[in-house]
Chain A
Amino acid sequence: MTDLTATLGTLTLPNPVLTASGCAAAGRELHQFFDVGTLGAVVTKSIMSRPRSGRATPRMAETPSGMLNSIGLQGPGIDSFIENDLAWLAAHGARTVVSIAGGHTDEYVEITRKLNGNPAVSMLEVNISCPNVENRGQVFACDVLASSRVIGAVRRAADPDVPVFAKLSPDVTDITLIARACADAGADGFSLINTLLGMVIDTDTMAPALGGITGGLSGPAIRPVAVRCVWQVKRVLPHLPILGMGGIRSGLDALQFILAGASAVSVGTAVFGDPTAPVRVLAELEVALEERGFASLADAVGYAHRAPAQRLVPAAPEAAAS
């Protein structure tokens, strides 16, 4: 039996498979299919201070091995979220990572303060792939200074016991520069990666397929980009934990992220096609780790970074053959 205990900074989880923000709402719907308390944690849809309608439809287009979405963070606002969603998660024994978003630094801080002291919050994931209304809509995550300001402000405002993870966008020239800035600002770890900005034109209407014109690309199509980002950030900041995500739909997909340096993974878009994907990925990951002779998940984290001579665990024959 492989020890699946996952560590994300000061947070210890019984296993390394979580949902991904925006792909599991606040757990209720998936709980019809499996007990969300059995997951490493539920990562909730990014919450902002006020209720948000989201964008006009169409909000989705299927793409090769993925999908494009432009939801616009439809949500109930932080007060309703705490009263209804967070309370429900706590009542059902689900560990919860709360994803927070904002249009300016003060909004992130306001939300963080409202979550302070709430025992249902295991971790904060800071979604900085939002337009900064104070800087002509420039996305925080694409700007070193804006990223570090938000992360620094959230880290200072949050409970010291609660890890603060920066969720980074791959739509940057060098993701390690943003990661370093967030680390300097106090980030306890990283969630890698957010969606890639994409676009689809409907050839019947000859107009953009999405109401929001551009959208976030997710699903297996972006997995190699995500694995690359995890690898690069782990290389430059080996001491900080990474929650890896981007197109994971099997245990071996998850293992790629672990070997690249992720301490845990989120299963996102796969849930839309297979509501039980998170528990299936966990079961498959456990088998894959066992087959490769890992006594613990921790032994596998970042394993691909080792030089050949340091590979203490021999590759499993089945794995070597495939």
Chain B
Amino acid sequence: MTARTPDRATSTTSAAIRVAQSRPVQELGEIFAVARVGEYYQFTVIAPGVAAGFQPGHFVAVAVGGENTSMVLRRAFALYGATPSGKFAGTVQFVVAAHGPGTRWLVQRRPGELLDLVGPLGTPFPMPSGPAPAVLVGGGYGTAPLIPLTEALLSAGSTVEMIVGAASAAKLFGELVAKRLVGGVTVTTDDGSAGIQGRVTDVLPAAIERINAEVVYACGPMPMLRAVGDVARAHAIHAQVAVEEAMACGIGVCMTCVLPVRGADGASRFVRSCVEGPVFDADRVRWADVGTLPDDLVGADAMAGH
């Protein structure tokens, strides 16, 4: 297996210590259902091999465009859920936003068609060792992986509050499911077309204080994750955030999806979002340095002249 970041086991207090690795499989799965949810498409695909190893935070990489496509790279989607695999075929669910040629092809697929999946991929959300009050923050379809995480936290006896935000009402995802799962759900939109007008971080401090949260989990756009991390730090708790970084392979061989991350040894390195992530402790990610090559990164000194 791939080397793990050494800081996993020691990164947080009572929260975040249980992380197990699943072996990914490649599987041709039949589409069972495609449902329109706001601006998104929710796929249910029969893929028992992927479903078998699923934990909240895992993602799946989907081939797009068909056999002779000119699109050579897979598209990565956070898993929204997976049924336990048993005697009958397990299914996995993920949510697609059509914003490019690959995802536009994907949302035109219909039940009965086959998709080539690789998964489960990535390092899932670390779970608290026992019951721990948690606030979960989803931006846009970033709420998707937080739904199975909510279920896992609830079944472990944790108190959960959710904040579901987006730019507008049509870009919200999972609001109703969230409300079915937990009592405390706050909705925010940038334009005020649903819930409270504002950003998720406007309402996050009150949510943390209401339940005396010990950990924050988040998934959504990079600036949101950074802001969530800042709020968590101000409350002296950890934020475990799932990033969306452009990936070519999703399995750890291509090195395109790296982020500057500070390790337990204090040294910063470019680490892979697909294997060491997509979930990171927000405090370890050097958000301000994303998209740059900081001088103090391990190996940055060797880049001179290249």
Q: Which B residue sits closest to A276, measured CB to CB?
A: B26
Contact A60 B303, CB 8 Å, known A53-B269, A66-B72: no
Q: Which chain A residues lie closer than 8 Å to B293 at the CB level?
A: 53, 55-56, 211
Compute how far the CA of A166 lies from the CA of B235 in the bound complex, rounded to whole angstroms. Answer: 57
Q: Report if B87 contacts A (CB, 8 A).
A: no
Binds B, one of A21-29, A119-127, A184-192, A290-298: A21-29
Q: Report if B270 contacts A (CB, 8 A).
A: yes
Compute how far the CA of A132 lies from the CA of B105 in the bound complex, rounded to whole angstroms. Answer: 43
Give the shortest distance, in Å, between B101 (CB) and chain A (any CB). Answer: 9
Would you call A71 and B23 a contact (CB within 8 A)?
no
* B contacts with A: majority SS: loop
Q: Which chain A residues lie closer than 8 Å to B73 at the CB level?
A: 62, 67, 272-273
Would you call A48 and B23 a contact (CB within 8 A)?
no
Q: Which chain B residues lie closer than 8 Å to A72 at the CB level?
A: 303, 306
Compute how far the CA of A313 lies from the CA of B298 in the bound complex, rounded to whole angstroms. Answer: 56
Would you call A25 and B302 a contact (CB within 8 A)?
no
Q: Report if A198 contacts B (CB, 8 A).
A: no
Would you call A29 and B2 a contact (CB within 8 A)?
yes
Contact A131 B72, CB 8 Å, known A29-B253, A272-B254, A273-B63: no
Which residue of A48, A50, A219, A271 is within 8 Å of B249 (Cβ)?
Answer: A271
Q: Which chain B residues lie closer than 8 Å to A29 at the CB level?
A: 2, 251-253, 275
Give the shortest distance, in Å, between B8 (CB) and chain A (any CB). Answer: 18
Would you call B258 and A131 a contact (CB within 8 A)?
no
Q: Which B residue sits closest to A53, measured CB to CB?
A: B299
14 new A-B contacts, CB < 8 A, other than A57-B257, A69-B254, are: A32-B251, A50-B301, A52-B302, A53-B269, A53-B297, A54-B303, A58-B256, A71-B256, A74-B258, A77-B302, A133-B305, A137-B305, A211-B291, A272-B248
Chain B interface (Cβ < 8 Å from any Cβ of A): 1-2, 23-26, 63, 70-74, 116, 118, 245-246, 248-249, 251-259, 269-270, 275, 290-293, 297-303, 305-306
20 contacts between A and B (CB under 8 A): A25-B253, A25-B255, A28-B1, A50-B299, A53-B299, A55-B303, A62-B71, A62-B73, A66-B72, A71-B255, A74-B258, A75-B299, A211-B291, A271-B249, A271-B253, A272-B73, A273-B74, A274-B26, A274-B63, A276-B26
5 pairs of A and B residues whose beta carbons are closest in the complex: A53-B299, A60-B256, A133-B305, A51-B299, A272-B249
